[in-house]
Amino acid sequence: MGIIRTEDIVFEYIRRDEEGNVEGITKAVDNVSIDIKQGQFIAILGHNGSGKSTLAKHMNAILNPTEGTVWVDGMDTNDGEQLWNIRQTAGMVFQNPDNQIIGQVVEEDVGFGPENMGIPTKEIWQRVEESLRAVGMYEFRKASPNKLSGGQKQRVSIAGVLAMHPKCIVLDEPTAMLDPNGRREVIRALRGLNQVEGVTVILITHYMEEIIHADKVFVMDQGKIAMDGTPREIFSQVEKLKSLRLDVPQVTLLAYELQKEGIPLPNGILTIEELVEALEKRTVGNRVIVG
Amino acid sequence: MSMIIDHVSYIYGEGTPLARKALSDININIPDGQFVGIIGHTGSGKSTLMQHLNGLLKATEGHIYFNGEDIYDADYDMKKLRGKVGLVFQYPEHQLFEIDVFSDVCFGPKNLGLEKKEVELRAYDALRKVGLPEELYYQSPFELSGGQKRRVAIAGVLAMKPEMLILDEPTAGLDPKGRDEILGQIKKLQAQTGMTILLVSHSMEDVAEYVDRIIVMNQGTVMMDDTPREVFRHYRELEEVGLAAPQVTYIMHALKEKGLDVDVDVTTIEEAAAELVRVLK
Cβ-defined contact of A258 to B273 (cutoff 8 Å): yes
Give the pLDDT confidence score for residue B17 in this predicted structure.
85
Q: How far from B189 is each of A243, B9, B104, B146, CA to CA, in Å? A: 25, 32, 21, 21
In angstroms, the separation between the Cα of residue B244 and the nearest Cα of chain A is 6
**Chain centroid, CA B31 distance in Å:** 15
Cα–Cα distance for residue pair B53/B229, rounded to 1 Å: 26
Q: What are the tens digits of pLDDT across the range B91-150?
A: 888 888 899 999 999 999 998 889 999 999 999 999 998 888 999 999 999 888 878 898
- Residue of A206, A209, A235 for testing the chain B interface, max B β-carbons within 10 Å: A206
pTM of the model: 0.88
Beta strands B196-200 and A168-172, pairing class: unpaired
Give the pLDDT confidence score for residue A151 in this predicted structure.
87
Element (H, E) at B193: helix B176-193
Q: What are the tens digits of pLDDT across the range B151-169?
A: 999 999 999 999 999 999 9
Residue B104 lies in a domain: yes
Residue B88 lies in a domain: yes
Decide if A13 contacts A26 (C-beta within 8 A).
Answer: yes
Residue B237 lies in a domain: no
- pLDDT of A1 > 80? The answer is no
From the list B176, B242, B260, which residue is nearest A181 (CB)? B242
Give the pLDDT confidence score for residue A290 in this predicted structure.
43
Cβ-Cβ contacts under 8 Å, A249 against chain B? 247
Cβ-Cβ contacts under 8 Å, A178 against chain B? 42, 202
Percent of chain A, pLDDT > 70?
97
- Residue of A181, A209, A240 for testing the chain B interface, max B β-carbons within 10 Å: A181
**A162 exposure class (CB count in 10 Å sphere: 0-12, 13-18, 19+):** buried
Class in CATH terms, A4-230: alpha beta
Cβ-defined contact of A280 to B258 (cutoff 8 Å): yes
Average per-residue pLDDT for chain B: 92
From the list A245, A276, A282, which residue is nearest B178 (CB)? A245
Cα–Cα distance for residue pair A200/A37, rounded to 1 Å: 8
Residues whose CB is less than 8 angstroms from the CB of residue B117 and which lie 6 or more positions away in sequence, other chains included:
none
Give the pLDDT confidence score for residue B68 in this predicted structure.
93
Cβ-defined contact of B255 to A181 (cutoff 8 Å): no
Average pLDDT on B1-12 reads 92
Q: What are the tens digits of pLDDT across the range A26-80?
A: 899 999 999 999 999 999 999 988 999 999 999 999 999 999 999 999 999 999 9
Nearest CA in chain B to A26: B143
Give the pLDDT confidence score for residue A226 in this predicted structure.
97
Residue B252 lies in a domain: no
In angstroms, the separation between the Cα of residue B169 and the nearest Cα of chain A is 9
Cβ-Cβ contacts under 8 Å, B174 against chain A? 48, 206
Residue B10 lies in a domain: yes
How many residues are there in chain A?
Answer: 291
Cβ-Cβ contacts under 8 Å, A150 against chain B? 42
From the list A47, A177, A247, which residue is nearest B172 (CB)? A177
Average per-residue pLDDT for chain A: 91
Cβ-defined contact of A180 to B202 (cutoff 8 Å): yes
Cβ-defined contact of B205 to A276 (cutoff 8 Å): no
Decide if A76 contacts A69 (C-beta within 8 A).
Answer: yes
- pLDDT of A235 > 60? The answer is yes
- Residue of B42, B232, B262 for testing the chain A interface, max A β-carbons within 10 Å: B42
Residues whose CB is less than 8 angstroms from the CB of residue A75 and which lie 6 or more positions away in sequence, other chains included:
A82, A85, A86, A89
Would you tell me the crossing angle of helices B269-280 and A272-286 to the nearest 10 degrees?
Answer: 20
- pLDDT of A81 > 80? The answer is yes
Q: pLDDT band for position A93 (50/70/90)?
A: very high
Average pLDDT on B217-229 reads 96
Three-class secondary structure of residue B280 per DSSP: helix
Q: pLDDT band for position A283 (50/70/90)?
A: low
Q: Of A226, A271, A183, whose CA–CA distance to B172 is shortest?
A: A183
Cβ-defined contact of B269 to A253 (cutoff 8 Å): yes
Cα–Cα distance for residue pair B34/B49, rounded to 1 Å: 17
Q: pLDDT band for position A97 (50/70/90)?
A: confident
Give the pLDDT confidence score for residue B18 in this predicted structure.
80
Q: pLDDT band for position A291 (50/70/90)?
A: very low
Nearest CA in chain A to B261: A289
| DSSP 8-state assignment for residue B128 | H
Cβ-Cβ contacts under 8 Å, A48 against chain B? 145-147, 173-175, 178
**B272 exposure class (CB count in 10 Å sphere: 0-12, 13-18, 19+):** buried
Average pLDDT on B211-236 reads 96
Residue ranges of chain A assigned to CATH 3.40.50.300: 4-230
Cβ-Cβ contacts under 8 Å, B250 against chain A? 272
Cα–Cα distance for residue pair A202/A18, rounded to 1 Å: 37
Q: How far from A172 is each of A55, A180, A218, B3, CA to CA, in Å? A: 10, 18, 14, 39
| DSSP 8-state assignment for residue B220 | T
In angstroms, the separation between the Cα of residue B144 and the nearest Cα of chain A is 10
Domain range holding B126? 2-227
Cβ-defined contact of B202 to A275 (cutoff 8 Å): no
Decide if A214 contacts A42 (C-beta within 8 A).
Answer: yes
Cβ-defined contact of B269 to A250 (cutoff 8 Å): yes
Give the pLDDT confidence score for residue A285 in this predicted structure.
55
Residue A266 φ then ψ, to 5°: -65, 155
Sheet containing strand A216-221, edge to edge, reads A90-93, A168-172, A200-204, A41-46, A216-221, A224-229
Average pLDDT on A205-209 reads 93
Cβ-defined contact of B254 to A272 (cutoff 8 Å): yes
Residue B121 lies in a domain: yes
**What is the domain count for chain B?**
1
Q: Of A13, A102, A245, A40, whose CA–CA distance to B176 is shortest?
A: A245
CATH number at residue B217: 3.40.50.300
Give the pLDDT confidence score for residue B143 in this predicted structure.
83
Cβ-Cβ contacts under 8 Å, B254 against chain A? 272-273, 276
Cβ-defined contact of B248 to A245 (cutoff 8 Å): no
- Cα maximum dimension of chain B: 66
Q: pLDDT band for position B57 (50/70/90)?
A: very high
How many residues are there in chain B?
Answer: 281
Nearest CA in chain A to B255: A276
Q: pLDDT band for position A280 (50/70/90)?
A: confident
Residue B200 lies in a domain: yes
- pLDDT of A282 > 80? The answer is no
Average pLDDT on A108-115 reads 93
DSSP result, chain A: --SEEEEEEEEEEEEE-TTS-EEEEEEEEEEEEEEE-TT-EEEEEE-TTSSHHHHHHTTTTSS--SEEEEEETTEETT-GGGHHHHHHHEEEE-S-GGGT---SSHHHHHHHHHHHTT--HHHHHHHHHHHHHHTT-GGGTTS-GGGS-HHHHHHHHHHHHHTT--SEEEEESTTTT--HHHHHHHHHHHHHIIIII--EEEEE-S-GGGGTT-SEEEEEETTEEEEEE-HHHHHT-HHHHHHTT----HHHHHHHHHHHTT----S---SHHHHHHHHHHHHHHHT----
Q: pLDDT band for position B1 (50/70/90)?
A: low
Give the pLDDT confidence score for residue A202 in this predicted structure.
97
Give the pLDDT confidence score for residue A148 in this predicted structure.
86
Average pLDDT on B167-189 reads 90
Cβ-defined contact of A263 to B247 (cutoff 8 Å): no
